[in-house]
Amino acid sequence: MSEIETPPAASPNASETVSFLGPAGTFTEAALKLAPEAKGKHWKPVTNVLEALMDVQQGRSFAAMVAIENSVEGGVTATQDALATMDGLRIFGEYVVPIRFVLAVRPGKSLRDIETIAAHPVAYGQCRKFLHRTLPDHLYVQASSNVASARQLFEEDGLADAAITPPTIQDHFDVEIVAEDIQDSSIARTRFLLVTTRTDLPARTGSDKTSIIVTLPEERPGGLLSMLEQFAARGINLSMITSRPIPESPGRYRFVIDLDGHLEDARVSDALLGLRRYSPSVKFLGSYPRAVPSPVAVDPSYSDAHYAQAQDWLDGLVR
């Protein structure tokens, strides 16, 4: 048995298709289950983030679910760079999936039968403590994904008699679970983004996030500080910032930024205006509800009401 990817027999309409980093059974699929927009659609597994985003950009899918942060399945940096360089894409939602692993065996086998364990290297690294404690003498076989590990249990020449996989593996393979929650950390999570070409925005909820990518002006020292002052001057908190070198411009950087708030918040649109004047390139990637709702704390100085009051004051200065 191999993992050849073949086109689906009858390709569903793009408006009915969501691409994701397959195969089925991965954490990305778990994220899709959380997204109302993906419900009842065709879920198309692809082999890497770029392919998923190109499906959206080129109209083969109306959306893609891609990992953006803290993933055990890779793709973080690739996603950031793809969103920075590909046009026409918008983030429409984010979803957080807890990272949990189980130890799966073929039906009838038990924990003490295990000699060789198949696992994706990153998953393997996240279950060290359990393995050291419970199966100190096991052998290790590398697998290409968290699902491919389970598939090895059923291969003719497969050496593995156990696989480290996500809990959802039982939806796809006839396996038995001999140990649950075997990951070292109980709080690991992966954050996923639902990416589309829609240019309308999800409604403001008060618990929103806005993603942008900003390039610093070439000639300015202290440029990062000046850029961040645009946020500080409007009381805006950043929940993520990452510098990424710009391959075409050695020594220059773009910054991938998530900020608290929605484009329709006066302070956010004001900060984007400020950035746009300061920076040669600001890419707006979307405003969308936080995966884990938690109202954005807004200093009253920067509330919409205060923005309106200040405008009234300014308008009244001149007769």
Q: Which residues ranging from 37 to 96 are in contact with a copy of itself (CB under 8 A)?
A: 47-51, 69-71, 74, 76-78
DSSP string, 87-132: SS-EEEEEEEEE---EEEE-TT--GGG--EEEE-HHHHHHTHHHHH
Would you state the structure tokens that stand for residue 213, as one six-digit string? 């990518």
Nearer to a copy of itself (CB atom), residue 40 or residue 297: 297
Q: Does 10 bind a copy of itself (CB under 8 A)?
A: no
Give, for 85, the enclosing helix (H) or strand (E): helix 76-85
Q: How far apart are the first and last CA of the chain?
A: 81
Q: Per CB under 8 A, does 203 bind a copy of itself?
A: no
Binding to a copy of itself (CB under 8 A): which residues in 245-304?
Answer: 245, 247-248, 263, 269, 272-274, 276-278, 282, 284, 301-302
Taking the complex as a whole, how short is the minimal distance between the CB of residue 103 and a copy of itself, in angstroms?
Answer: 17
Query: Side chain identity at 205, as an amino acid letter?
Result: T
Read off the amino acid at residue 218.
Answer: E
Residue 208 near a copy of itself by CB under 8 A = no
Question: Is residue 14 a contact point for a copy of itself (CB under 8 A)?
Answer: no
Q: How far is the CB of 213 from a copy of itself (least distance, A)?
A: 14
- When asked if residue 307 is in the footprint of a copy of itself (CB under 8 A), the reply is yes
Q: Count of alpha carbons within 13 Å of 286, Cβ hemisphere only? A: 24
215 lies in the binding site for a copy of itself (CB under 8 A) = no
Q: How many residues bind a copy of itself (CB under 8 A)?
A: 83
201 binds a copy of itself (CB under 8 A): yes
User: 102-105 and 176-179: which strand pairing?
Assistant: antiparallel
- 136 lies in the site for a copy of itself, by CB under 8 A: no
Q: Is 238 in the site for a copy of itself (CB under 8 A)?
A: yes
- Considering the complex, what minimum distance in angstroms separates the CB of residue 81 from a copy of itself? 8
In the complex, minimum distance from the CB of residue 314 to a copy of itself, in angstroms, rounded to a whole number:
6
Q: Using CB under 8 A, which of the segments 11-19, 34-42, 174-182, 310-318 binds a copy of itself?
A: 310-318
What span, in angstroms and rounded, lies between the C-alpha atoms of 93 and 110? 41
317 lies in the binding site for a copy of itself (CB under 8 A): yes
Nearest CB to a copy of itself, comparing residues 111 and 225: 225
User: DSSP characters for 122-186?
Assistant: HHHHHTHHHHHHH-TT-EEEE-SSTTHHHHGGGSTT---SEEEE-GGGGGTS--EEEE----S-S
